[in-house]
């Protein structure tokens, strides 16, 4: 039977969760949607504080437009749910019961239903059978607007997990890189993230030399050599909120081009920060960072968007990408991560998490040194 590690409690009180559910119900009424049906995932956690892995057994929060939320869940998960969300009603089911019929029975009215964006097809298809004739929508129709602006507790959670990632980075610089496999350095990063307070480590990208030209390189057996740049992109979660940071380091003194590329990326990120203000279009941050890289002659080597939102998920709205006219607002948190990737040679990326403060400016949540760190 699967087991979960102990997690730091989410920094939200029960009254706040109840208020979130009321706002969600109000949004359902405004849109003429009968209910939210949420499988395990960040939307369910956001509305209840209950965090559980997905299995073939249906767990589903049914939140109607009118009425109280109910967790439909396997009987064996009831004790855990009671601890995490004591104020949420439960309908438990046994191994021979039909949980889909139970969930469907809690949906009143004739409107559409909105289901988790990442709900398994196994669950969605069975619920469609039970709720035949209803239109099915994505839950993000409702939950995106609720989650995109972080409240005070969420902001503090993001500050704390980002600071923990900063500390892990500072400590890994004290360890050797040259002569070790990428996976060895990645293991160090995972160890340090946990020591600095992360409940989970989600990813540790260590991309050395030519591997650095692959933004999502799969850390492997390559031995890091002298005179190489290494892209280190890593993160995880604490109290269910995510970290994500990238720094590029170099074994020994860099050559002139590596230093020039790193300086270009650093200036591009600074331009992104300057553009990230309340009222600015998300796409304008991408444009500001991209302009610096274009002017330096490396435009075709910046091959991804400038940033993504972050919170309970590592990637969520808003996305800092060309064409996105969504306006930035206080409480929105996102990465600013320009990069330059020279195929077959090396790559450079610098990534911070930033958040629009109540004053309208972008507050950096990662404060680790942005310089091209020299490692041994």
Give per-residue pLDDT as tens, 74-110.
999 999 999 999 999 999 999 999 999 999 999 998 8
pLDDT for residue 9: 67
Residues 134, 214: one domain?
A: no
pLDDT exceeds 90 at position 19 = yes
pLDDT digits (tens, 9 = 90+) for 23-43: 999 999 999 999 999 999 999
Note the pLDDT tens digit of each residue in 128-162: 999 999 999 999 999 999 999 999 999 999 999 99
Mean pLDDT value across residues 215-223: 98
Domain hosting 213: range is: 152-375
Per-residue pLDDT, averaged over 276-287, amounts to 98
Residues 183, 120 within the same domain: no
Mean per-residue pLDDT over the chain, rounded: 96
Where a domain ends, among 95, 121, 147? 147
Are 183 and 123 contained in the same domain? no
| pLDDT(208) > 50 | yes
Our CA dihedral for 113, 117, 118, 124, rounded to 10 degrees, sits at 20
Give 327-350 pLDDT, tens digit per residue: 999 999 999 999 999 999 999 999
Model confidence, pTM: 0.94
Cβ atoms of 338 and 269 within 8 Å: the answer is: yes
pLDDT at position 7 is 64
Q: Which two tokens stand for residue 19?
A: 């208020």
Q: Which residues contact 11 (CB under 8 A, 6 or more apart)?
A: 153, 154, 156, 157, 239
CATH number at residue 143: 3.40.350.10
Q: Tell me, yes or no, whether 90 and 120 share the same domain.
A: yes
End-to-end CA distance of the chain: 43
Please give the pLDDT value at position 67.
Answer: 87
**CATH number of the domain enclosing 165:** 3.90.230.10
Looking at the 3D structure of the chain, how many domains does it have? 2
């Amino acid at each position: 039977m699967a087991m979960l590690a102990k997690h730091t409690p989410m920094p939200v009180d029960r009254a706040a969760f109840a208020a979130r559910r009321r706002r969600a119900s109000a949004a359902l009424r405004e849109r003429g949607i009968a209910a939210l049906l949420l499988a395990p995932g960040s939307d369910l956690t956001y509305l209840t504080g209950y965090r559980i892995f997905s299995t073939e057994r249906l767990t589903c929060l049914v939140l109607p437009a009118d009425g109280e939320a109910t967790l439909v869940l396997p009987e064996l998960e009831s004790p855990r749910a009671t601890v995490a969300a004591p104020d949420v009603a439960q309908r438990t089911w046994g191994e021979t019961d039909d949980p889909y019929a139970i969930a469907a029975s809690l949906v009143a009215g004739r409107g559409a239903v909105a289901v988790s964006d990442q709900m398994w097809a196994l669950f969605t298809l069975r619920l469609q059978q039970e709720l035949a004739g209803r239109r099915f929508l994505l839950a993000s129709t409702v939950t995106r607007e609720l989650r995109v602006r972080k409240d005070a507790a969420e902001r503090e959670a993001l500050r704390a997990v980002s600071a923990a990632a900063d500390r892990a980075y500072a400590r890994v610089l004290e360890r050797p890189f040259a002569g070790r496999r990428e996976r060895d350095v990645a293991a160090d990063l995972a160890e340090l993230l946990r020591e600095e307070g992360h409940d989970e480590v989600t990813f540790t990208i260590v991309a050395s030399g030519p591997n650095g030209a692959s933004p999502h390189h799969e850390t492997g057996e390559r031995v890091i050599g002298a005179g190489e740049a290494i892209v280190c992109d890593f993160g995880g979660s604490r109290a269910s909120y995510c970290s994500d940071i990238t720094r590029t380091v170099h074994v020994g003194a860099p050559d002139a081009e590596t230093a020039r590329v790193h300086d270009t990326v650093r200036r591009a990120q600074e331009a992104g920060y300057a553009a990230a203000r309340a009222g600015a279009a998300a796409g304008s941050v991408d444009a500001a960072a991209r302009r610096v890289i274009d002017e330096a002659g490396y435009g075709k080597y910046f091959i991804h968007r400038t940033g993504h939102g972050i919170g309970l998920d590592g990637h969520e709205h808003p996305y800092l990408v060309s064409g996105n006219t969504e306006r930035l607002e206080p409480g929105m948190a996102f990465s600013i991560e320009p990069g330059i990737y020279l195929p077959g040679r090396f790559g450079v990326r610098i990534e911070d998490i930033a958040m629009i403060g109540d004053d309208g400016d972008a507050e950096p949540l990662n404060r680790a040194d942005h310089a091209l760190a020299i490692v041994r």
